[in-house]
Amino acid sequence: MRRPLIVLVLAIAAIGVFAAGLAALLDTPRPPRGASRGERLFYALCVTCHGVDGRGSWRASLFLIRPGNLADAARLDQRSDQYLVDIIKNGGAPFGRPGMPAFGAALSEEEIRELVAYVRGLSRAR
């Protein structure tokens, strides 16, 4: 007799658990206090794919995106500053790395340069 009520309560609980899981999945980490502008931009725009440490986030692999490893010094040493500016501004498509989106419309030259400096830092200290 009470069955429909129990089913309803269970359904609502299941939706709650699902929504909480989704929220945890989609929430991105916050930058530390006193972070530089480059770091704040990196957390806001890049961490979803590249991960906080630049090694690639599991979220990206969930969507079959392979963002490479920005903390790999050997790899980053081969990249010129101009290349880093260009790939952030125009996206990866011109370089045969189509998974990397273009941020030229959203960021100023100066913001892009600060991001480049921050990305370079990922393969150094830490």
Return d(Cα 112, Cα 62) in angstroms, integer. 27
Task: Report, in Å, the least distance between residue 24 CB and ligand HEC.
Answer: 19
Instruction: Provide the angle, in degrees to the nearest 10, between the axes of the packed helices 81-90 and 109-122.
Output: 120
Residue number of the CB atom closest to ligand HEC? 99
Using CB under 6 A as the binding rule, whether residue 103 contacts ligand HEC is answered as yes
DSSP percent split of the chain into helix, strand, coil, nearest 5: 60, 0, 40
Out of 31, 55, 86, 92, the residue judged to bind ligand HEC by CB under 6 A: 92
Residue from 51, 100, 121, 122 touching ligand HEC (CB under 6 A): that is: 100
Other beta carbons less than 10 A from residue 123's beta carbon: 17
The least distance separating ligand HEC from the CB of residue 103, rounded to whole angstroms, comes to 5
The least distance separating ligand HEC from the CB of residue 53, rounded to whole angstroms, comes to 13
